[in-house]
C-alpha cells in the first residue's frame, strides 16, 4: 500500500515523462563508436547508478559488476572443487538405529562381539551402524565401555573414533577369541590359565580351534632329583592337539625314581618344565602341554630325575 505523501511525487513524474521523450539532447551518435548514457534519476533517496556499455568492443564491458547466476554457479563449483564437498558420515559413531538408517552412506547391521570369562570365549551378535559399502579385510577392535571391555570383529576395515584400538597381543584376552587376531604365543598361558573349570577350558578356542586342555600339574620343588610330594593342581594350559583323543603310551621309563619292572604295562608319557626354580611334572596321553619337554627313556644331565616322581 502506497503511503499518502508519495502521491505528489508520482503524479509529477508522470507529467514530466512526455517532455523528456521529446528531447534528444541526451542521445548522441558518433561514427565508429556508439555510447548510450542514461542520466541518473533521483527520487527521494533512491539512486539508480549509471551503466555504460561499450558496444564496439569484441567483449562488451559492463561497469557496476552485477552478480549473475552464472557467476554464482562458477563460484560454487570452485568452492566444491577446493573443499572436495562435505566429508562422508562416520557411520560407526552413530548409535541411534533410525539416524543410522536415514544416513545415505550407512546401514544398520550385526557384528560379532566377544567376551572372555570362566566359561571361555563367548560370541554374540551386536547391532551396529556400519558402512553401506564396506572395504578392506576383516579386522578386530576393542574399547573400554562402562568399566567393561568391548571387543568387536568387523568383516571389513571400518573408520572408528579414537577410543577404539586394534586388537593385538597387548589387547584384552577377548581379542584372542576373534578369528583375525595374531597368535600371540607369549599370552597363551594367560589366555588358558584364566579358566578355572574343565568345561570352560574346553571352550577356549583360537582361530576356531581348541587351544587349551585340562592337565594335572605336580610341582616337585627345585631341581634336586627329589620328589617334593606337593599336592597336584588341575590347570587349564596351552596344548598341542587340544581336545583330541590321540594317545601313544610308552614303556615304564627307566628313571632312577621309577620301579624297574620289565613286565610293567605301558604308561602315559611324562612331561616336565622348570618355572621360577620349580620343576613341574605332567603325565598325560593325547594332548601335549605347550612349553613342556617329554621325559626320554635315556636319562641325560639336562633331564631331571623328577621325571620319575610320577611313578611313585
Phi-psi region of 88 (alpha: psi -120 to 50; beta: other; left: phi over 0): beta
Residue with the larger pLDDT of the pair 183 and 93:
93
Taking a C-beta distance cutoff of 8 angstroms, is the pair 60, 53 a contact? yes
φ and ψ at 148, to 5 degrees?
-125, 165
Residue with the larger pLDDT of the pair 59 and 226:
226
- Mean pLDDT within 190-209: 87
DSSP string, 48-94: -----B-TTSSS--BTT----HHHHHHHHHHHHHHH-SSPPP-GGG-
Cell of 215: 592337565
Taking a C-beta distance cutoff of 8 angstroms, is the pair 289, 295 a contact? no
Taking a C-beta distance cutoff of 8 angstroms, is the pair 244, 286 a contact? yes
- Mean pLDDT within 152-173: 95
Query: What does the pLDDT read at residue 126?
Result: 95
Measured between alpha carbons, how far is 295 from 226 in angstroms, rounded to an integer?
Answer: 16
Q: What is the pTM of this model?
A: 0.63
Query: What does the pLDDT read at residue 5?
Result: 42
Q: Could you tell me the CA-to-CA distances from 150 to 104, 109, 207 in Å, in that order?
A: 27, 17, 19
Measured between alpha carbons, how far is 69 from 48 in angstroms, rounded to an integer?
Answer: 22
For residue range 57-85, list pLDDT tens digits in order. Answer: 444 444 444 444 333 334 333 443 344 55
Lowest mean pLDDT of 53-62, 212-221, 302-311, name the range. 53-62
Q: Where are the domains of the chain?
A: 91-182, 209-311
Give burial (CB, 10 Å; 0-12/13-18/19+) of 177. buried
Lowest mean pLDDT of 22-26, 261-265, 282-286, name the range. 22-26
Least Cα distance to 106 among 96, 117, 119 occurs for 96
Lowest mean pLDDT of 23-27, 94-98, 153-157, name the range. 23-27
Query: What does the pLDDT read at residue 254?
Result: 66
CA dihedral 194, 210, 187, 231 (to 10 degrees): 50
Least Cα distance to 204 among 242, 257, 235 occurs for 242
Residue with the larger pLDDT of the pair 10 and 212:
212
Measured between alpha carbons, how far is 57 from 286 in angstroms, rounded to an integer?
Answer: 99
b or e along 30-63 (b: 16 or more beta carbons within 10 Å of the residue's beta carbon)?
Answer: eeeeeeeeeeeeeeeeeeeeeeeeeeeeeeeeee
CA angle 151, 153, 156 (to 5 degrees): 145
pLDDT bucket at 262, cuts 50 / 70 / 90: confident
pLDDT bucket at 107, cuts 50 / 70 / 90: very high
Query: What does the pLDDT read at residue 288?
Result: 93
Cell of 82: 577446493
Least Cα distance to 267 among 251, 289, 287 occurs for 251
Query: What does the pLDDT read at residue 56?
Result: 46
- Mean pLDDT within 238-251: 86
On the question of pLDDT at 94 being above 60, the answer is yes
Taking a C-beta distance cutoff of 8 angstroms, is the pair 153, 179 a contact? yes
Amino acid at each position: 500500500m502506497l503511503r499518502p505523501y508519495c502521491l505528489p511525487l508520482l503524479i509529477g513524474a508522470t507529467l514530466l515523462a512526455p517532455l523528456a521523450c521529446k528531447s534528444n539532447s541526451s542521445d548522441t551518435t558518433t561514427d565508429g563508436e556508439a555510447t548510450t548514457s542514461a542520466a541518473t534519476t533521483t527520487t527521494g533517496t533512491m539512486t539508480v547508478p549509471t551503466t555504460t556499455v561499450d558496444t564496439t568492443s569484441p567483449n562488451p564491458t559492463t561497469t557496476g559488476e552485477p552478480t549473475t547466476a552464472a557467476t554464482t554457479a562458477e563460484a560454487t563449483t570452485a568452492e566444491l572443487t577446493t573443499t572436495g564437498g562435505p566429508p562422508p558420515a562416520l557411520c560407526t559413531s552413530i548409535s541411534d538405529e533410525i539416524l543410522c538408517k536415514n544416513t545415505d552412506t550407512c546401514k544398520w547391521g550385526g557384528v560379532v562381539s566377544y567376551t572372555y570369562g570362566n566359561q571361555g570365549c563367548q560370541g554374540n551378535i551386536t547391532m551396529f551402524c556400519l558402512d553401506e559399502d564396506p572395504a578392506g579385510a576383516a579386522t578386530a577392535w576393542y574399547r573400554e565401555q562402562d568399566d567393561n571391555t568391548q571387543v568387536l570383529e568387523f568383516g571389513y576395515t571400518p573408520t572408528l573414533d579414537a577410543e577404539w584400538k586394534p586388537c593385538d597381543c597387548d589387547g584384552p584376552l577377548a581379542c584372542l577369541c576373534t578369528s583375525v587376531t595374531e597368535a600371540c604365543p607369549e599370552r597363551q598361558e594367560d589366555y588358558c590359565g584364566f579358566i578355572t573349570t574343565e568345561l570352560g577350558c574346553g571352550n577356549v578356542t583360537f582361530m576356531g580351534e581348541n587351544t587349551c586342555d585340562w592337565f594335572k600339574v605336580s610341582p616337585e620343588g627345585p631341581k634336586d632329583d627329589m620328589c617334593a610330594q606337593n599336592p597336584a593342581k588341575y590347570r587349564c594350559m596351552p596344548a598341542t592337539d587340544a581336545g583330541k583323543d590321540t594317545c601313544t603310551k610308552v614303556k615304564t621309563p627307566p628313571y632312577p625314581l621309577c620301579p624297574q619292572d620289565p613286565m610293567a604295562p605301558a604308561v602315559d608319557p611324562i612331561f616336565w618344565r622348570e618355572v621360577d626354580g620349580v620343576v613341574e611334572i605332567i603325565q598325560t596321553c593325547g594332548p601335549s602341554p605347550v612349553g613342556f619337554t617329554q621325559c626320554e627313556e635315556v636319562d641325560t644331565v639336562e633331564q631331571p630325575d623328577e621325571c620319575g616322581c610320577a611313578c611313585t
